[in-house]
Structure 1
Amino acid sequence: MISKKNYEEDDFMSTVIAQKWGNSLGIRIPKEAADRIGIDQGSEMELRVIGSENTLTLKPKKKRKSYKLDELLSQITPENRHKEIDFNREGRELI
């Protein structure tokens, strides 16, 4: 990190250096910035390039909730369960 400057209490700015990483370029995200937006190693980020302004924006992708079968099954009630649907028989299916 070369320099950092706080513009407002909620803002954070830091100068970083782009470095070669395979065929791409990579930058390091300072710990303070990573902590503020809640990312760590392996976090998925959305990268937006705003060409008219020559700016890059990084935004953490929302983590997808992982569901467990037990949790899903426990939410089934007679009220929210659909009725059986008869699709008739098409061809040689064994039902």
Structure 2
Amino acid sequence: MQVSKWGNSLAIRLPKALVDELGLKEGDEIDVVAARKGTIEIETKEERRRRAIENMEARNWPALPAGWKFDRDEANER
């Protein structure tokens, strides 16, 4: 792969074989979660959500009532 200039950033194109192996599709958001000599680990937004839910379930937090929705204004009332 070749590193290219993209605006003020650098970018690489991922080969199709790697994209297929990672199960990525256009529009996916990924984060680089670790970078070591010769290795880069990524995580998709969906994987991050799934991992967060698994961590919450492992802590046995009580489930939220069906249909519950967070209300930022209500949470910030004083």
Greater fraction of residues in helix: 2
The structure with the largest alpha-carbon Rg is 1
TM-score normalised per structure 2: 0.50
